[in-house]
Amino acid sequence: MKLPKYINTTISRLSILLIIVYLNSSFMYGQDSMEDASITVTFSEEDGVKTLIAAATDQEGLPIEDLELYFYVKRTFSLLPIGDPFNSTDENGIIEMEFANDLPGDTEGNLEIVIKLFESDLYNDMTVEVTKDWGIPIIIEDPKSEKRSLWSAAANAPLTLIVLITSMIAAVWYIICYIIFTLFKISRIKD
């Protein structure tokens, strides 16, 4: 069918526009076409060796291969990277990571493990946080209790020092008081 000329150009322009728009969205944003991966974490411990197993699957439940995941443990100011710098899922979508035995946790030994997925071409960024008591429990000093030492507050001076100084001062001042008392008695002597 022969279309009028102007309709031809309009259609060609519109199609160019549509093509450009489609390419735009798929290259620059990917939000519509990028998937959400789902990461599950399991723990296994054998012979004192702790292993963290992360399994990545896509929306259909199929394992994702060659996906880079980053493992961290939450610390006071920042996230501490654990394990190897780069971890990629194998063909089953699984990363097995050996977990260090000597990471300090909180008072109960809990650690907040953070797994991040970012800078992936196919999947959206996501963060998974898991708490696990694989840390070494730390003992928190009671801020109000202080051991006796030379550098502690006045109330917690070493006992030896206190006893020594007090006894020496007491001895000398006892003598002084005795002398003052004697002088007093001298003044009271009636001839």
Partner 1 sequence: MKKDKLTQEFKTERERKVLGHLVFTSPKYKLWVAFLILIIIFGMFGYYRQLRYGLEVTAMRDYTSWGIYISNFVFFVAISLVGSLISSILKLNKNDWARPLTRISEMIAVAAIICAAVIIIVDMGRPDRFFFVITHLRIQSPIIWDVIIISTYLTISLLLLFISLLPDIAVCRDKLTAIPKWKKFMYRVLAINWKNSDVQIAKLRKVTTILAITVLPVAFAIHTVTSWLFATTWRPGWDSTNLGPYFVSGAFMAGAAVIIFAMYLLRIHLNLKEYITNRHFDKMGRLLVLLSLVYLYFNINEYLGPAFKMVGVEGEHIIELFTGKYAPMYWLVQVGGLILPIIFLIFRPFRRPLPIFIISFFVILGAWFKRFLIVIPSLQHPYLPIQGVDESYLHYNPTWEEWAITMASFAWLLLIITVLIKLFPVIPVHDKIENKEEVEPKSLKNEAS
Partner 2 sequence: MENKDKINSSRRKFIKNLSSGTALAVTGLGLYSLSSCTSSSDEENTTVLTPEGKLVQVPKSTMKEMAYEPVSPEESRQGIPGKKWVMVVDLGKCKNARKCIDACDHHHQLTPDRPYIKVLEMKDNEKSAPYWMPKKCFQCDNPPCVKVCPVGATYKRTDGIVLIDNERCIGCRFCMAACPYSARVFNWGEPPVAGDHEHYSPETSVPSKIGTVGKCDFCPDMLRQNKLPHCVVKCPNGVIYFGDENDDTVTNGDETVRLSTLLRDKAGYRYMEELGTKPRVYYLPPVDRMFPFEKNTEENSES
How far apart are alpha carbons 92 and 36 in whole angstroms?
A: 18
How far apart are alpha carbons 35 and 108 in whole angstroms?
A: 37
Asked if residue 68 lies in contact with residue 59, where contact means CB atoms within 8 angstroms, the answer is no
Instruction: Tell whether residue 20 is a contact of partner 1 (CB under 8 A).
Output: no
Picked from partner 2, partner 1, none, the partner binding residue 173 (CB below 5 to 8 A depending on kind) is partner 1
Best CA proximity match to 72, nearest among 86, 82, 62? 82
Instruction: Tell whether residue 180 is a contact of partner 1 (CB under 8 A).
Output: yes
How far apart are alpha carbons 8 and 185 in whole angstroms?
A: 133
Tokens representing residue 51 in the block: 């292993």
Q: Interior CA angle at 101 toward 50 and 131, to 5°?
A: 70
Instruction: Tell whether residue 150 is a contact of partner 1 (CB under 8 A).
Output: yes
Tokens representing residue 103 in the block: 């990471």
- Report in angstroms how near the CB of residue 15 gets to partner 2 at its nearest: 9
* Nearest residue (CB) to partner 1, 7 versus 186: 186
How far apart are alpha carbons 58 and 123 in whole angstroms?
A: 9
* Residues found near partner 2 in the complex (CB under 8 A): 9, 12-14, 16-17, 20-21, 24-25, 28-29, 75-81, 102-104, 106-107, 138, 140-144, 146, 150-154
Picked from partner 2, partner 1, none, the partner binding residue 161 (CB below 5 to 8 A depending on kind) is partner 1
Residue of 2, 91, 151, 160 that binds partner 1 (CB under 8 A): 151
Picked from partner 2, partner 1, none, the partner binding residue 160 (CB below 5 to 8 A depending on kind) is none
Q: What is the DSSP letter of 25?
A: I
Instruction: Tell whether residue 147 is a contact of partner 1 (CB under 8 A).
Output: no
Where along the sequence are the contacts to partner 1 (CB under 8 A)? 150-154, 157-158, 161-162, 165, 169, 172-173, 175-176, 178-180, 182-189, 191
